[in-house]
Amino acid sequence: MSVPDATLTPDARATSPGAASPCVQDRARAATPRELAAIPWLAALLPTERQQVANGLLVTEVEGGELLCCSGRSAAYWFGVIDGLLKLSEPAGTARHHDFGGVAPGGWCGEETLLRRGPYRHDLRALRRSKVAALPLEDFHALLAGSLAFNQYLLHQMNERMTQISTVREMERRSDPDLRVARHLAALSHPRLHPGVGDLLRITQQELGQLVGLSRQRVNEALGRLETSRIIQVAYGGVQVVNWQRLQQYPDASSALATDQAPNGVGSGCSGGQA
């Protein structure tokens, strides 16, 4: 099974510590039945469509720091996370470098690029050792042309992505580390975008800091305040989201909770009060 050189390979710009040099395509292989079962949209397809995906889908395991695709290269695959954590960002060295967040288990990314058959606009890099699925461009378009279920999945996916873009723009305007940590955690634990996360988002404070753009100490402080608000619970190996809706609406939900808990009506009827 040959793999094009357009993607699934480290880029020459990957000079940071930990960036791997061996070609990733040398490790690509066919998906196992268990890996296919981890793809959230596959079960909704018709049997013939599922078989088409199984025949074309590739799986590769990458180390932390490796690039799966980089900005400017021709799009050849739609990427999904089976296990691990990826980061979407603009190339380092651009005039205004932006990080667009992470891709957690069950999440897929890059569909807008494949739809227009253009070059990738972002870098996609592994934050830790990850198992990644790659659906070839032509298989993606074959499903797009013939599968109603696949089109419905993409519509929901792109709608949620637009919401995330608005969130990124809001965070750029507000230099609030607690807000940034909360919104990134909400995105990574989104039940539709990352259904493979489950009850525990497996992420270290260092990885979260890389996604959010904060030091490990600032991330630790933000997690502590979110835990005090009973929105999350820091657990061994990751973060458990106690209330996803409140996490997504933070800090508004936190302020509302403080008002509800105020003794003897203190804070009630005070729309501009602080938590």
User: What string of pLDDT tens digits covers the 275 residues of the chain?
Assistant: 334 444 454 343 333 333 333 445 678 999 999 999 999 999 999 999 999 999 999 999 999 999 998 888 999 999 999 999 999 988 766 555 456 789 999 999 999 999 999 999 889 999 999 999 999 999 999 999 999 999 999 999 998 888 776 766 666 666 789 999 999 999 999 999 999 998 899 999 999 999 998 999 999 999 999 999 999 999 999 999 999 999 988 887 554 444 344 333 333 232 233 32
Alpha-carbon distance values, 256 to 148, 182, 190, 262 (Å): 41, 16, 22, 10
Domain ranges, ordered by start, for the chain: 24-161, 176-260
- What is the predicted pLDDT for the residue at 21? 33
CATH class of this structure's domain 24-161: mainly beta
Is the overall model pTM greater than 0.85, yes or no?
no
Q: Are 133 and 79 in contact (CB under 8 A)?
A: yes
181 Cβ neighbours under 8 A, 6+ residues apart = 208, 212, 214, 219, 222, 223, 226
176-260: CATH topology is Arc Repressor Mutant, subunit A (1.10.10)
Q: Which residues pair with 234 in a beta bridge?
A: 239
Alpha-carbon distance values, 93 to 13, 141, 167, 208 (Å): 10, 33, 23, 22
